[in-house]
Amino acid sequence: MEVLWLAQEEVKSVMDMSSDMQVVEQAFRQHGLGRVQMPPKSYLYYTAYNGDLRTMPAYLEEENITGVKIVNVHPGNPARGLPTVMALIVLISPETGTPIAVMDGTYLTDVRTGAAGGIAAKYLARKDSKIIGIVGAGNQAKTQLEALCKVFEPELVRITSRTKESSEQFIREMAGITPCEIRYEDSIEKVCDCDILVTTTPTRKPIVKAQWIKEGTHINAIGADAVGKEELDPELLIRSKIIVDDMIQALHSGEVNVPLSKHYISENDIHAQLGEVIVGLKPGRTSEEEITIFDSTGLAIQDVASAHLVYERAVNKGLGMKVKMF
């Protein structure tokens, strides 16, 4: 039996944001209809190294595709010359259980998370949104902005991060992707003067204050993806419409996990899952004044759908190395 091995450069060569947004939206649609199997991601915590490891299996029944992602998050890795997030994805045959492909999932994770943010904003942000604010300047900030530019035509992007240098690098790298000015701001408060706010940091204490957010803003809360992480002032959640990617996973590790544990909000304060909004089971934005929040924890269905797209394109182009297992 042979397994197709795809390195990161091969994955990159067949991925594009527009196509990935299509398959990720379809995955959320199936999630909203209850046609997927996806247990919550499981964690191993390496507290001595400020890192963790996650396993994420999923089966999209209608598409008949399945697999599992193994992914780490080690915020200290850049100082060692390594990515903060590294991932490996294994695609499996539902019919026999045999592995059919193993591929780098690091770049794929960045793209599929950006895709989810773009899709969420498509359904939840005001249609006339023109100003995007971004907190954080890493890979995730880049793919979030790329996806938003597929849905909206921004007139200005505000960016801030831990250092001015990282923001300036972000501006240089994104200049050819974003058809408008990208402006460095020296505070998060200034960045919050926007129509769509994206937060992409690993912080464990709120950095976005409720009073900074004006009516009608949509927020993609991306950074909180493990127990104890939070980026938004709990008061902001109280006055907003909250949409999560997956209820069980969000309760455990999403932006809502800390406010829930401290009883600032309850599970009843969570309006919907994104898939439910996409298929029309629950409404998205219902006024120009309400604040909407998309709480993204990152779902295995996004990984499997994206990996299957990569696999099909790689096979068609004759990419990858076939590895004999037994």
Contacts 24+ apart (CB under 8 A), 238-241: 238/264, 238/265, 238/269, 239/210, 239/291, 240/290, 240/291, 240/292, 240/293, 241/271, 241/285, 241/290, 241/291, 241/292, 241/293
Residue 205, Cβ density class (10 Å: 0-12 exposed, 13-18 middle, ≥19 buried)? exposed
**Is 18 annotated to bind ligand?**
no
**Is 112 annotated to bind ligand?**
yes
Q: State the Cα torsion 310-313-319-322 to the nearest 10°.
A: 70
Residue 69 a catalytic site member: yes
DSSP result, 278-289 = HTTSS----SSS
**Is 51 annotated to bind ligand?**
no
Distances (CA, A) of 207 to 182, 231, 261, 275: 21, 5, 18, 28
DSSP result, 87-109 = EEEEEE-TTT--EEEEEE-HHHH
CB 307 within 8 A of CB 104: no
Cα angle 184-187-190, degrees, rounded to a multiple of 5? 80
**Is 140 annotated to bind ligand?**
yes
Helices within the chain (DSSP H only):
8-14, 17-32, 106-124, 139-151, 164-174, 188-191, 234-238, 247-253, 257-261, 274-278, 300-317
**Is 13 annotated to bind ligand?**
no
CA 317 vs. chain centroid, Å, equals 28
The C-alpha atoms of residue 129 and residue 121 are separated, in whole angstroms, by 10
**Is 225 annotated to bind ligand?**
yes
Q: Catalytic one among 41, 69, 122, 241?
A: 69
**Residue numbers annotated as active site:** 69
Binding residues for NAD(+): 112, 139-140, 223-225, 229, 296
Binding residues: 112, 139-140, 223-225, 229, 296
